[in-house]
Structure 1
C-alpha cells in the first residue's frame, strides 16, 4: 500500500473521529454565547476564503485577471440589490468579455 493511500485512510479515520467527538459534546456547551457566535460566523468566513482563493490564486501564485473584475462586477450588482441570477450572469459576462479582449 502506498503512502498516499495510508494518508487517505488516516484522514478518513481522523475525520470520522472528529465528527463523533462533536456528537458527544454536551448540549449546554454548544448553546453558549461564544460558541453560538462562532458557529454563526464560521460559514461566512469559510465562504469568503473560498471566493478569495478561487478568484485571486492560480496554482501557487497570486494573479489579477478577469476573475477579479468579474467578482467586482458581482459585488456592484449585489450592492444594487440585483437578483442573484443577474449577479451570477453579470459577473460571468464581465469576466468572459475581458477574457475575449485578451485580458486572461
Structure 2
C-alpha cells in the first residue's frame, strides 16, 4: 500500500509541473537559485556516497571511478558511457585488489 502511495505521489508531482507551469510565474532569480540548489544537492550526494560509512578501510577504487565519471561528464560524454566507464574502472580496480 505504501509503494502505491509513493507511486501516486510521484506521478502527481510530475504531472503538476506541466499543468501548473502556465499558471504560476516564477522569477528568473528564483529559477537560477533552484538550478544552483540542485547542483549543490547532487554534489553533496556524490560526496557523501564517497565517504566510508563503516569503520572499514577506505579504498581508492570508488573515488577513482567517480573521478573518471567526473572527467567524462566534463568532456560531455553520453550518460551511458559515463556510467559504464565509472563502473568498469571501479570494478577493475577492485578485481586487481584495490579496494
TM range (shorter): 0.5 to 0.7
1:86 Cα deviation after fit = 0.7
| Structure index of larger Rg | 1
Q: Cα RMSD (Å) of the superposition?
A: 2.5
Q: TM-score, normalised by structure 2?
A: 0.62
Aligned to 1:31: 27
Q: How far has the Cα of 1:98 moved from its partner?
A: 0.4
Q: Which residue of 2 aligns with 1:49?
A: 44
Larger helix share, 1 or 2: 1
> What 5-or-longer segments of structure 1 have no aligned partner?
1-26
Distance across 2 between alignment mates of 1:81 and 1:59: 31
Higher RCO structure (Cα 8 Å, ≥6 apart): 2
Change (3 A) 1:60 1:37: farther
> What secondary structure, in the 3-state scheme, does the structure 1 residue paired with 2:70 have?
helix
Q: The residue matched to 1:103 in structure 2 has which SS?
A: coil
List per-residue Cα deviations over 1:14-56 (Å, max 9, x = no partner). xxxxxxxxxxxxx78x6373x443222111100000001102x
Q: What are structure 2's unaligned runs of at least 5 residues? A: 1-23
TM-score by length of 1: 0.59
